[in-house]
Amino acid sequence: QVQLVESGGGLVQAGGSLRLSCAASGRTFSIYAMGWFRQAPGKEREFVGAITWSGDRISYLDSVKGRFTISRDNAKNTVYLQMNSLKPEDTAVYYCAAARIRPGVDVTGLYDYWGQGTQVTVSS
């Protein structure tokens, strides 16, 4: 099992920045990739971005490219989501997730472990 704990959400004005953190614990050696997802009220959860544990592949949702940056610190078992130039439409609960190493796994595929979520609210 892998446990994930997010932090760093909050309220920010449009154009501002926030950095989310996701600390992983447990069987972290079994992780292939760490991803960020978000779910706005009344909408389905959507993929925001992900990074492989090795860092050799990063993927982003088109609407956040150039504004959001994913990075990881393997020594701390932590993944970050730096969010700049935030827009009101970025308002959502943001979830961290981890995908196990398994045949066919991909950064944009299924994720096995989820954090509790952290609220990000961008005011206009």
**Cβ(12)–Cβ(121) below 8 Å:** yes
**Which pLDDT does position 111 carry in this prediction?**
95
For 59, half-sphere exposure in the C-beta direction (CA atoms, 13 angstrom radius) is 14
**Which pLDDT does position 104 carry in this prediction?**
84
**Which pLDDT does position 9 carry in this prediction?**
94
**Which pLDDT does position 64 carry in this prediction?**
97
Q: Report the distance separating Cα 61 and Cα 63, nearest Å.
A: 6
- Tally Cβ neighbours within 10 Å of residue 40: 14
**Which pLDDT does position 109 carry in this prediction?**
83
Please list the helix, strand and coil fractions of the chain in percent, rounded to the nearest 5, in that order. 10, 55, 35
Spell out the SS3 assignment of 4-51.
EEEECCEEEECCCCEEEEEEEEECHHHEEEEEEEEECCCCCCEEEEEE
Burial label, 48 (beta-carbon count in 10 A; 0-12, 13-18, 19+): buried
Which parts of the chain have pLDDT scores under 50?
A: none
**Which pLDDT does position 103 carry in this prediction?**
87
